[in-house]
Amino acid sequence: MRSWKFWLGVLVSAFFVFWTARGLEWSSFFLALRHANYWWLLPGIAIYFGAVWARTWRWHYMLRHLKPVSLRRLFPVVVIGYMGNNVYPLRAGEVIRSYVLRRNEGINISASLATVALERLFDGLVMTVFVFATLPFLPLPPQYRSLVFLCSGLFGMALLVFLGLAAWPEHANALIFRFVSSFVPLRFRTQITDVASRFLEGLHSLRSPREVLMIVVTSVAIWLTETTKYWVVTHAFAGLHVPFTVLMLMTAVVNLATMIPSAPGYVGTFDKPGIQVLVSVGKVRANIAAAYTLVLHVALWLPITLLGLFYMSRQSLHWHDIDVAVEAQRQQAEPEVQLGVPPTVNTSNLHGHG
């Protein structure tokens, strides 16, 4: 809360919440909430955790060049990371899960963060594919066209850069060394060069077309599964009949919009875009769309946050440990691992496990 970035996120969320609330028919909104059949949340949540398990398998597949970690051991780490995204701003949960992974398995944080960056990159690419796949059938709300096209360009350029770094690691290391030697103070050069080298190790998956294909297929499956949760939750509201393609577009738009800095839990930046897609594309009444989006947001946020807190307790993690990782992210440094964790794994000797 001492960071200006946190308060910027709060202001952004406040703006989106005000924008959402303005003109809403509150009596109809609360009526829709009161008459919703919340039993439909149970299969929806079960489907969502199926998607979380698929995310765990994808990360397990991407980490195997660094160290093979079983799905059973990796699943709690993924859940703690998503809990961190829900309670800390600026997706700090991505650093938190890399921190917990190092604490549990000894895998270097910079290397695992590279795999996390790849996850986010492919997730973003799938979101833009969802948008363009539905555009022939559905009109994209005008206010989100710029966001989608900007994200498409950014994700495309990032993919090309990552592919280049992975394909020519020796050239990338030489370029990094030349840059660090020219522009970085002497006392930081070794640390920065080591972090960059470990990051390149984490991009190993991009060196194989087969592995890239596996990541793409898994990413599409993950997001189709999550969209299925959106579809199941629609059944909680009588009269809310939305085609699956509209929900694909909603999934894409709200998740691209959550890239906008906001308060923890993507307050406002998830809700307003979702409501607008349902109203303008799905022809849903605003009060029903708002009630559904709020319930969906809570059903996405609350279960995995509670499970993350449970796994924190099981692994004897404390908020101080999490704060160490978040503070290290803020200062762009690698946090020291506490509680007698094994030393960092030498990833250069682990490629045979792939």
Amino acid at 29: F
Tokens, residue 244 = 């699956």
Q: How far apart are CA 202 and CA 118, in angstroms?
A: 9
Count structural domains, the chain: 1
Sign of CA dihedral 164, 165, 166, 169: positive
* pLDDT given at position 261: 85
Q: How far apart are CA 103 and CA 258, in angstroms?
A: 29
Q: How far apart are CA 349 and CA 354, in angstroms?
A: 11
**Terminal-residue alpha carbon distance, the chain:** 41
* pLDDT given at position 343: 37
CA distances from 114 to 205, 208, 249 (A): 10, 16, 28
pLDDT tens for the chain, 354 residues: list them: 566 777 888 899 999 999 888 878 899 999 999 999 999 999 999 999 999 999 999 999 999 999 999 999 999 999 999 999 998 877 888 889 999 999 999 998 889 999 999 999 999 999 999 999 998 888 887 778 888 888 888 988 998 998 898 888 888 888 888 888 888 888 888 878 888 888 888 888 888 899 999 999 999 999 999 999 999 999 999 889 899 999 999 999 999 998 888 888 899 999 999 999 999 998 999 999 999 999 999 999 999 999 999 999 998 888 777 777 666 655 555 554 443 333 333 333 333 333
* pLDDT given at position 348: 33
Q: Is there a contact between 282 and 275 (Cβ–Cβ < 8 Å)?
A: no
What DSSP assignment string belongs to 84-143? HHHHSSTTTHHHHHHHHHHHHH---HHHHHHHHHHHHHHHHHHHHHHHHHHTTTSPPPGG
* pLDDT given at position 351: 34
Q: How far apart are CA 220 and CA 130, in angstroms?
A: 9
Alpha helices in the chain (DSSP H): 4-21, 26-34, 41-63, 71-87, 93-105, 109-134, 145-167, 169-183, 186-202, 209-234, 244-257, 271-280, 286-314, 319-330
- CB-based contacts of 299, cutoff 8 Å, min separation 6: 41, 44, 45, 48, 229, 233
Q: Is there a contact between 270 and 86 (Cβ–Cβ < 8 Å)?
A: no
CA distances from 270 to 40, 225, 261, 310 (A): 21, 18, 11, 25
Q: Is there a contact between 237 and 36 (Cβ–Cβ < 8 Å)?
A: yes
* pLDDT given at position 276: 93
Amino acid at 103: R
* pLDDT given at position 267: 92
* pLDDT given at position 342: 38
Q: Is there a contact between 226 and 31 (Cβ–Cβ < 8 Å)?
A: no
Domain of 256, in residue numbers? 4-353
